[in-house]
Amino acid sequence: MGRKFDVLLDRVLQRRALRRWTLLAEGAEAADLPELKAMRGRARALKRQIDRVLHVAEARLALPRVGSHAMRKPATADWAWRPEPWRGPLPAPGLAAVDSKTEIGPGTTVFHDCHVSELTFRQVRNQRESDLAPFGVRLDVFRFDGSFLSLAIDLPPAAVEGLKLRHLIRLDTIVETEKPLEIFARLNVKHGPNVEQVVRELPLGEPEAMVEFDLAYTRMNEKRVERMWVDLIFEGPEMNQITLRDVTFCRRPRAEL
């Protein structure tokens, strides 16, 4: 009984608050400045709490679930990870005229050498049944007067813990483009003062692409590995829309012969 009364009371109070703020909004044009200033302060405080509720509700009620760790990976993988821009909402979900070295999300940075940037970034919500990642990243490239465009993704410390030459690093992506585009993935492994690099080309025209980097072909010093990152390099991106629906990484040991 008490619970039903509380729900009823909440509804009554909500209707009264809505009517009150409707009247305040209608009278804002005629309010004097001191009254309008006080009204603005109360509205901002209320808006902050409303935005918090909407942010959580929209994230939890939409599919796929925000923060989902579901991903395609081999059964033998000893580490797997999805970067934050594809896992959760970003504070700034979009940017125009993106400058080089702009961090669009934690550990995810855009690099280019354009004199005038006509590049925009937007985080999009994935809602297809086939999507495992809650979010995607979209790059719109208009006029492009530079020689390169790349997206650098820093892998977390767990990626290099216990890293051995017998490991394979796997990258899975779901890419959509307006027109065919060559995309290269470059793995960088810093060990001491040196950086080992392995480059792979993503299969052209295939939306779901997978490449593996075999560390056995590098001169990596297992005892001095410090960090690892991957550059996604887009060749000739002018007048193209690039949507990365998902980006995931995993690590697995090579099968013993």
Strands (E), 72-166: 79-81, 94-95, 102-105, 108-112, 119-125, 135-141, 149-154
pTM of the model: 0.71
Q: Per residue in 1-32, pLDDT tens?
A: 566 656 676 787 788 888 888 888 888 888 88
Q: Per residue in 73-82, pLDDT tens?
A: 777 888 999 9
Whether the pLDDT of residue 256 is over 70: the answer is no
Please give the CATH topology (third level) of the domain spanning 79-253: Jelly Rolls (2.60.120)
Can you tell me the mean pLDDT for 164-185? 92
Can you tell me the mean pLDDT for 207-227? 90
Question: pLDDT > 70: what percent of the chain?
Answer: 91
Work out the pLDDT band at 205, boundaries 50, 70, 90: confident
User: Which residue would you say has higher pLDDT here, 70 or 224?
Assistant: 224
Q: Which of 247, 112, 114 is nearest to 176 (CA)?
A: 247
The domains of the chain are located at 2-61, 79-253
Q: Which of 172, 92, 77, 79 is nearest to 132 (CA)?
A: 172
Q: Per residue in 51-77, pLDDT tens?
A: 887 777 766 665 666 555 677 777 788
Highest average pLDDT, of 5-14, 40-49, 144-153, comes from 144-153
The pLDDT value given to residue 65: 62
Phi/psi-derived region of residue 101, left when phi > 0, alpha when psi is between -120 and 50, beta in every other case: left
Which of 24-28, 135-139, 227-231 is the least confident region?
Answer: 24-28
The pLDDT value given to residue 45: 87
Look over the chain and give the mean of its residue pLDDT values, rounded to a whole number: 86
DSSP code for 78? S
The pLDDT value given to residue 109: 94
